[in-house]
A and B are shown apart, each in its own frame.
Chain A
Amino acid sequence: MENKLENEEWMSGAPEGYFDSLSERIRQSVFLDALRDKVAEGGFITPDNYFESLPGVINGNLFLEQLKGSGSVETAGFITPEGYFSSLSSRIVAQVQNVDLDEAAMAVQAPSKHADKIVRLWHSSFLKYASAACFILLSAAGLYFYQQKTEPVVNYAELANEQMLYDIDEHVIIEHIQAASMEEEQPVVAAADLENYILTNYSQNDIASDL
């Protein structure tokens, strides 16, 4: 009886509806606990050495903040002549107009550049050299095959002579050669040639004394 009274007193101290949602909250805690075991860090990663370099980066940023606080950032100490920016636009526009005029003048001076369409035969150096190489190869191939196809000239006269010699007996050939060689050793001198030689090389007295 006393215990039941104590419990009733204790329950009346809890927030309204506390026990209605308690079981659901306990169930969720158990679920999250199990989840943490499987997915400890949420799957995110950082670049290598990130946390080692982070203090340096933060200190650098603090330094820059101090630097900015010490003076003008945009101009950083640089100044311009008085009224510079107020005249800058008009000077730039004048430059642009000069450029336009120059381009227009060039177009007037050289109208043919636009009128005549020039078609380049060789679009690139590679095409030019490739064409030349092909022409040389084809010429060389043609010349080679032309030489191969040309028939050898046969000397029928020589062949006929060789056949005749083959038919003649060899003893006859030997006697003919020996006779020819003797004639060569004793050349026949014409009488007229002999007379001329004597008259040229000897005087009349020498000739008369010999006679």
Chain B
Amino acid sequence: MKQVEDSEILEKFSNEKTKNEAFNLLLQKYQQKIYWHIRRLVIDHDDADDLIQEVFVKVWKNLEKFRSDSQLYTWIYRIATNESITFLNKKKQRNNTPLEEVSSELSESLVASSYFNGDKVQRKLQEALLTLPEKQRLIFNMKYFDDLKYEEISEITGTSVGALKASFHIAVKKIEVFMLNEDITF
């Protein structure tokens, strides 16, 4: 199926008659990528499901105001990232738990989840990721799983490319040490 260009989506969205059609095209093009991005942050499928709906409602409300000074994808990505971080922060505040315990909760959610069927390596990788600071985990996910360029990640997070590179490589080192300590080899 041929991917629709963002410019075509935006043009159709600006027209009341084709607005709904444009939004459906947008969903077809980006919903899975955005879902997986959110899911890797919040772990639980139901939480990711709630968040993705909230994200695209926000996209619907604000797409008219979207300025083409950034890519459409990175704009949607940024909304999804902010919503996910806000969700995790609210979770911390609601339970009055420090950050380490939220990571522990997410790790337990991973273990208990019926929607995780990864092998030992994938499970250990997720456990390793949950030991990272939130922002470092976010940057790693975007670089490793979504294969975004540093410039795109910089647009999304507002962090400089140099800082992103440093953060990513530190994250890789930590994951490597974690995996080795868990006797995970390839």
Contact = CB atoms under 8 A, between A and B. Distances in A.
Contacts of A71: 118-119, 121-122
Given A67-B125, A92-B27, A92-B57, A60 B176 contact: yes
B74 interface: no
B173 interface: yes
B78 interface: no
Interface residues of A, number: 32
Contacts of B35: 80, 85, 88
B172 interface: yes
A89 B32 CA distance: 10
A74 B145 contact: yes
A77 B126 contact: yes
Contacts, number: 94
Contacts of B24: 89, 93
Contacts of B145: 73-74, 76
A44 interface: no
A99 B169 CA distance: 42
A102 to B, nearest CB: 11
A41 to B, nearest CB: 22
A13 interface: no
Contact of A76 (B53, B56, B122, B176): B122
A139 interface: no
A77 B118 contact: yes
Given A74-B145, A75-B36, A81-B115, 12 more contacts: A60-B176, A63-B172, A63-B176, A76-B40, A76-B145, A84-B49, A85-B31, A85-B32, A88-B52, A89-B28, A91-B53, A95-B53
Interface of A: 53, 56-57, 60-61, 63-64, 66-67, 69-81, 84-85, 88-89, 91-93, 95-96, 99
20 contacts: A56-B169, A63-B172, A66-B186, A67-B121, A67-B186, A70-B186, A73-B144, A74-B36, A76-B126, A78-B39, A81-B115, A85-B31, A88-B27, A89-B24, A93-B24, A95-B53, A95-B56, A96-B57, A96-B60, A99-B60
